[in-house]
Amino acid sequence: LLPQYDPTLHAGATPYFRAEADYVEYLALPALAHGYYDHSLQLNLELGYINRDVAFLPFLGGGQLYSLGAPEYNTSVGFVGYPFYSVRGESLLNLGVSYRGPIARRLDWDLGALYIEDIYFQVFTSWGNIWSFDRDGKRQVPFADRAANGRYVLGDVGIDLRIGNFFQEIETNVGTTLRAVYRIVPFRDCPDSDPSADPHCLDVAGARGFLFYAIVGGGF
């Protein structure tokens, strides 16, 4: 159904094929300090393929809160070191590694309407890119060709402060994450062929630097 919403497609055009696979492996590491230090490792692999150059709804990457309805997705660390929706195209590959451990557990802090139970940290890194098509219509080959951002691979590293909290009388795990992520591999080119279409591209994503996020209500 997606082609009917693409303004570049017309009646009778052949629909395009889109496939995406997300694999997540949670590894519980041996607990330390009599079970208090319950740390874990998480591996994320994202793959995607669209068989033609599309102007509407390609694969989109960049720092974002993935889902309010499914908080478990908010542990995803793919491309968060880059501005919102700045990485895009038709061939997606991203590998993320996250390590989580407790700072304080079973706090039982009752602060008026706010209740705080646990505080964890998470350190992570993610590497990959989203490739598209060259101006002559040739498909970019992952790792063999540079993506529209001018890089073969993008990479970042970050740290989270994850707070297990909820508001009393609301039966939900609200949770709060404070995130700082460092962009290791900056853009070399703007994804848009016309630099004036995105004048802040190289000002922000074209240099090594930090992005900061406050994710409130995204689960714990």
Q: What is the pTM (predicted TM-score) of this model?
A: 0.83
Among 32-41, 86-95, 120-129, the least confident range? 32-41
The pair of three-digit structure tokens given for residue 147, joined into one six-digit string? 């993506």
Region 47-63: what's the mean pLDDT? 88
Close Cβ partners of 157 (under 8 Å, ≥ 6 residues apart): 81, 123, 124, 125, 181, 182, 184
Q: What is the pLDDT of residues 96-155, one digit of tens each?
A: 999 999 999 888 888 777 788 899 999 999 999 999 999 899 999 999 999 999 999 999
Higher pLDDT, 215 or 102: 102
Q: Average pLDDT, whole number, for the chain?
A: 85
Q: What is the pLDDT of residues 60-89, one digit of tens each?
A: 888 865 555 565 566 678 899 998 888 999
Dihedrals φ, ψ of 202, to 5°?
-75, -20
- pLDDT at residue 220 in the model: 67
- pLDDT at residue 153 in the model: 98
- pLDDT at residue 169 in the model: 62
- pLDDT at residue 109 in the model: 82
Instruction: Convert 40-99 into a string of H (helix), E (strand) and C (coil).
Output: EEEEEEEEEEECCCCCCCCEEECCCCCCCCCHHHHHCCCCCCCCCCCEEECEEEEEEEEE
- pLDDT at residue 195 in the model: 58
- pLDDT at residue 202 in the model: 83
- pLDDT at residue 14 in the model: 64
Long-range contacts of 110-114 (CB under 8 A, 24+ apart): 110/168, 113/167, 113/168, 113/169, 114/165, 114/167, 114/168
Q: How far apart are CA 105 and CA 117, in angstroms?
A: 7
- pLDDT at residue 34 in the model: 84
- pLDDT at residue 152 in the model: 98
